[in-house]
Amino acid sequence: MLCTISVIAQNVGIEANTEEKLSIIQHILIWYEKNMTYPTIALLMALESSFLGIIPSELIISVAAYVALDNTTSLTFWGVVIAATIGSLLGGLINYTLAVFLGRKALYALADSKLGHFFLLNSNKLMNAEKWFVRYSKISVCIGRLVPGIRQFISVPAGLSRMKLLPFMLYTVIGSSAWNTVLAALGYFLHGQQDLIKKYSFELSYLIVIILILIVIFFLFKYLKNKKLQNQNAKIFGLTGYPLSYSKSKAFFCEKFEKEKINARFELFEIKDDNELNDFFEKIKNQTDFALQGFNVTFPLKEKIIPFLDEIDDTVAETGAVNCVKIIRNDNQIPSLKGYNTDTYGFEQAIKPYLEQENINALICGTGGTAKAISAALKRLNVNFTFISRTKTETNITYSEVSQQTITDNLLIINATNLGFGKMENQCVPLPYEYITHEHLLFDVIYNPAETLFLQKGRQCGARTINGSQMFANQAIKSWEILK
């Protein structure tokens, strides 16, 4: 902002062909008068709101609004605001689209590449934007537009979470127009100080040079400091499964590490098939310099991962599923892997406040690792349950067997499948939802999106609904107690 205040000054009537010595400020203003148009403003703001935003919005909008007040160009105050807002929306859509098609892994790799660093990008900036999105959900797209350092990148987590396009555009326009109006108002205010700025034009130019030098020194110092920290042996924790682009684990733990000043990193290890699973454990077993201390496990590996472990906790023996693995190294750095299940704890703590009546019965949709963890929690809470799956076995019924009486007798219905998640966001378990009433409680282990189709249908029938966000937080905290 100091740069903006220093740059904005009155073009004191000096023509471009004058022989009088011009200050830096006067040169800038002459360039703005000759070259700044609405399309140029929109283009610069589109770049500023995307990954390519090297020129700050203060230098674009405030100076353009200042020049517009001179009536020497075709620009108007509100025209500048509108053009800047259109550009901000275009830039936001660029980031949103890249996030949707590239995914988290590719974007973070780009941010930490040499190309990313050239455009002043790094993974920490993307993480900060994700923290905002996790904390404030969809409204963060609007609020984040008013926060320097967040505003350019808030479109990324919106794209990663597949936020609906129309609300995204609306929130972007509202937040951007507010920010752009404030910057244009700054230009309006400084226009009233033109006599003072004219008097100290050269002094302000020198101040600009000094500020630029200080900025270069600051970034150089910050770069060297970060380089030093990277060379230290930071502990590594992570999450494995597939897909991971929808998970909030990295944002959750990175915020925790930063807040508690823990020298650690959280990485995502996407594993698509058995070969990649074997390679992952080979790396852990054979590379003693691999600083991985432990990791969480998500779909679809919670059961597949058990044969690779050296030891399991009682919670795993009870549920037959793992979602947390601690790596214990002996004096020779030979690793031993112990598996735990914190999903049971996470679900139990999340559902307990809502179980207001005794002798309630439950339906668990799914029979995978998460469903088994939930069944263990329900046993502890003395809740009778029935598994539902597509295939009939001795321990479950099928969806086609679920009748009106089944729904009436089971007031707690839990989705422990991945229907409603990722590419299956528009799907839900096939139940006769028309028999659900206000007496029912629907719980979905999925937390992104915040309301799945399963929960939406339950809400439309008058049922109470709970998503998996609290379960996620509970199990993550419990996992950290094990891994740290």
Q: Report CA 115 to chain centroid distance, whole Å.
A: 22
Tell me which H or E stretch contains 344.
Answer: helix 343-351
Can you state the angle between helices 249-259 and 469-483, rounded to 10 degrees? 50
The beta-strand segments (E) located in 360-401 are: 361-365, 384-389, 396-398
Q: What is the DSSP string of 420-461?
A: TSGGGTT------GGG--TT-EEEES--SSSS-HHHHHHHHT
| Residue owning tokens 């970034």 | 219
Measured between alpha carbons, how far is 322 from 352 in angstroms, rounded to an integer?
22
Residue 205 corresponds to which amino acid? S
Residue 167 burial (C-beta neighbours within 10 Å; 0-12, 13-18, 19+): middle
Q: Report CA 338 to chain centroid distance, whole Å.
A: 30
Residue 431 corresponds to which amino acid? L
Between strands 324-329 and 335-340, the pairing is antiparallel
Give the three-state DSSP class for 122: coil
Cite the active site residues: 302
Q: Report CA 370 to chain centroid distance, whole Å.
A: 24
Instruction: Tell me which long-range contacts 73-80 makes (C-beta under 8 A, separation of at least 24).
Output: 73/33, 73/36, 74/37, 75/36, 75/37, 75/38, 77/184, 77/188, 79/38, 80/38, 80/41, 80/180, 80/184
**Running DSSP on this structure, what letter comes out for residue 295?**
E
